[in-house]
Amino acid sequence: MSPKCPTYPTTTARVMTAVNIVERALRRVLVPDKVNLASLGNQVPHVHWHVIPRFTNDSRFPLPIWVPRQRTVSEVLLSRRRIQATLMYEQIRNEPNAAFGHH
């Protein structure tokens, strides 16, 4: 247990459940080639997660998303992914309520 957060185990489990819900929806809707998970918070003490779909035809693959673009991606493909992102939002919006016992 963390001395700074007496609810550490419970809080961690809830955060990881939320990350898992987002990753599962992302895999279901976007069908990426892989998913990168990153937990950052270097400057200010806080937690946030990046759940990043990766495609072999994305503009930076196989390098990290933080590097300059390696190639361009067609507007048609980008438009399709924007639509998929909207669908993904719909997939995950109610799942946390069910997972955490809210109605």
The pTM (predicted TM-score) of the whole model is: 0.77
Q: What is the mean pLDDT of residues 88-96?
A: 79
Those residues with Cβ within 8 angstroms of residue 18's Cβ, 6 or more apart along the chain or in another chain = 96, 99
User: What pLDDT band is residue 1 in, cutting at 50, 70 and 90?
Assistant: very low
Question: Are 70 and 57 within 8 A, CB to CB?
Answer: no
In the chain, where the domains are located: 8-98
In the chain, the amino acid numbered 102 is H
Among 2.40.110.20, 3.30.428.10, 1.20.1530.20, 1.10.8.290, what is the CATH number of 8-98? 3.30.428.10
Query: Counting every residue, how long is the chain?
Result: 103
- pLDDT tens for 19-45 read 999 999 999 999 999 999 988 777 777
Those residues with Cβ within 8 angstroms of residue 23's Cβ, 6 or more apart along the chain or in another chain = 35, 37, 51
